[in-house]
Structure 1
Amino acid sequence: MGERSSWGVPAVTTKNGTILIKNIYYMLAYAFRSLESYGYQEIAGEEFSNIHDLFAVILAKEVSRQIKRGLYREYHSRTEALPTVRGKIDLQGTIGNKIKRERCVTCEYDELTENNPLNQILKTTICLLLRHGKITDERYAELRRILPFFSNIDEIDAKSIAWEAVHLQRNNQSYRLALGICQLILEGMLLTTESGQYRLSSFVDSQQMHRLYEKFILEFYTAEYPFAKASSPQITWALDDGAGTLLPTMQTDIVLSRNNEVLIIDAKYYSHSMQYSFGTATIHSANLYQIFTYVKNKEAELSDRPHRVAGILLYAKTDEALQPEGDYCMSGNQIKVSALDLNRDFQEIQARLISIANQFFAA
């Protein structure tokens, strides 16, 4: 069973703190906008006792949709000794067959197969949830019904998946949501015991939650805040000599812009949202330097016209007693620091995000 919030609603423990399980769904729904467009709204009304159960129902529904559509197939090159010619003859292999007095021809040919990395990832994730996930009998049965469609597809080592090498094309774009859920499960929840066996943790890894948190906020403002454009652009360094070859890229998380009014939001999801030195708590210095740098370089970009640029460090609230909160004016720019409580009713989270944007654009 999962944990429960202070008022008895099912919640999940992350390294950051507790989050209502239903809010994980809403965050996923914004991060993967297809959750809403594909008619998954009924999931929002269900109760989930733990995070495994939520991921299992979304994965089962999405993979079932893919099966109806047809599993993705791609050509793989094979070399095989055959009684008749298929594809291109491998001369060296065929000579070897003759030497061994075997009546076959070694051929190289391309085979269209479902046994490819995309389907292997789906099967591996389903099998791990079945073997190690804390899921209800109903979810277990749903996943079991899917497995026969993957009988000709191999399982792979979950920790060997090179996610950066997984590229979707026009003819397999429908896998995007399913693979996103698989990556969240495998990278964020997969642990290995001392005996080498896999187990699924009941919390979600902080790094994966950071990505989900950041993507959720960006997509929330894209969908729910029409008064400003939401994007995630790079900011150019304001250089005097133009020689910035070795400078790091300033990649923003969320930027809300209207005309020349710009609010830069840096989303932060940490186990500890404050830093401590000799018992004194302060805001993470690197985070503050980062948002200040973004704001000042963006302001330099707009210096030839009327403008207003501000920044906010938006931490996910932890279970710690002290939370980062502050409103500062630094070199003429407003820099805010605040914490978003993900362990609240989702309507409160929505209202808080809208309020943050309104405070800047209505000022």
Structure 2
Amino acid sequence: MSERATVLYVDDEEMARKYFARAVESEFAVLTAPGVDEALQILAQPGSDIDVLVTDYRMPGRVGGELLREVERDYPHLVRILVTAYADKEVLLETINGGDIFRILEKPLDTGVVRDALRLASENARERAMRRQSLLAIEETVAFLAHELNTPLATIANFARNIQRRVSHQAEDNGLPLKADIGNAAAHMNDNARYCLAVLSSFVESVKRASVVPAARAGGGTARQMVGALLEVYPFAPGQRDTVQLEVQGDFAVRAAPNCVALVLSSLLNNALRALDGQAGARIRITVGVADRPYIIVEDNGPGIAPALLNRLLLDPVSMHGSEGGSGWGLIFCNRVMQSFGGHLRVQSEQGCSTTVTMNFPDLEKERA
């Protein structure tokens, strides 16, 4: 969060609102409201992105305590500060019992005290935003994993039930057909189980490489921001970062599953770096653009992929890093992530020259529909 924190100040006195805005607007973006209802209208606006709420207590109609309670219920991530000229027992007890208050400031406001309180509140807001985004990332990725693993696990369970049923009636079989069926079922169960394990493994490894998911605010941010943030946090080995270049031909918002998209991007970058390990003149270019549909391209000048393997990469678990523990499920997993929201991967390669993987996203108009 490099931009200024946004503060919403609520006070029925117009002069008080103007004084507050003039006092802090050099450091903070300030919005003002003359009452509780007006403040709630501002908070309800899409993209309002309020970080800190500062409200007077004594106002005509609904008092600041009511606003604090509603904000705690509907906007718990906001940092809340109460301003009052009546530091009496009734106000303090209601405030303390009413929810999480970061600070209580007394009128008349002291500019230095207000600035210090807002600086601390802004830091607290950043921490809350990071925790909130982490929870959203977990929710999003767990939902994908649950969806993705449901079918193969159901297949395994179905084969197991069929085997159990056939075995219980084996007296009615000649033996050989039953053995053939069991062998076929076991093979399918093994394939599905391996896929489940590989999906989980790919997910865990991707999370390790992209521990900070670049979806800082609602809407997921743009592709350029996502790539830039990943390059900042990726655990490059010495000298590797210098091999990676970012080219932006056109930017676009990553609305669908931004945290999963970041994991795919991290996995593709890892593949490119592995392909270039020990190669002189290594280069990786990541291109963000919009043509018929939005895309992110990861291109390396590594050894390329043999044609016999290239046609199978997104269909079968083939690996060029089997000796290093590679399972071959990585690109299949990445393609399934892209397909889950209407996109797909495209892999192109010239053996001995380069490999290009394109993350194709849904058409922007279709995504908004």
Query: Which range, TM-score by smaller chain?
Result: under 0.3
More helix by share: 2
- The structure with the larger Rg is 2
TM-score by length of 2: 0.26
TM-score by length of 1: 0.26
Question: Which gives a bigger RCO, structure 1 or 2 (Cα 8 Å, sep 6+)?
Answer: 1
